[in-house]
Amino acid sequence: MDAPGLIPSLIGAPLSPAGGPAAGTVEDLLVDAASRPVWLLVRLRAASRPYTFVPASRMATRADAIVVPYDEAALRESPVRLDDPGPFRRAYATLLGRYYGLRAPSSDPRGLRAAPVSRAAA
């Protein structure tokens, strides 16, 4: 999968949880050292702490949205919710991996839209 080729279709796209109506917008795509998508930085609609990270490994594209296999409640109850987009931290990988039942990537993810994303200790 060529991550740089995904940017135009992902960044700014609506995010649809479990195929339902859009719950937010994809703000950035974080990739591993091999440029494989690892996390989506998402801004949830109507949320007091709108930014969260959603696993990119099981995303699918639809003509009108990016679809992830998690329901909206799961996205809103994520253990990592941010007021503003910020660096991806090692602690986030641990919390989110447990929450979504995933193994944390072995390499530091980097954002493709913004400045490089760091996984510094929280």
- Tell me the domain boundaries of the chain: 3-111
pLDDT in the model for residue 101: 92
Contact 21, 11 (CB under 8 A): no
pLDDT in the model for residue 103: 80
pLDDT in the model for residue 63: 82
pLDDT in the model for residue 116: 40
Contact 75, 24 (CB under 8 A): yes
**Of 34, 33, 42, the residue nearest 10 (C-alpha):** 42
Rounded CA-CA distance 122/101 in Å is: 21
Rounded CA-CA distance 117/120 in Å is: 9
Q: Which two tokens stand for residue 50?
A: 């709108």
82 vs 119 pLDDT, higher one: 82
pLDDT in tens, 7-46: 556 889 999 998 789 999 999 998 888 888 899 999 999 9
User: Confidence band (pLDDT; 50, 70, 90) for 119?
Assistant: very low
Rounded CA-CA distance 47/30 in Å is: 22
- Model confidence at 115: pLDDT above 50: no
β-strand partners of 118:
none
pLDDT in tens, 35-76: 888 999 999 999 889 999 999 988 998 888 999 999 999 999
Fold category of 3-111 in CATH = Photosynthetic Reaction Center; Chain H, domain 2 (3.90.50)
Q: Which two tokens stand for residue 8?
A: 């135009």
**Of 59, 69, 70, 72, the residue nearest 21 (C-alpha):** 72
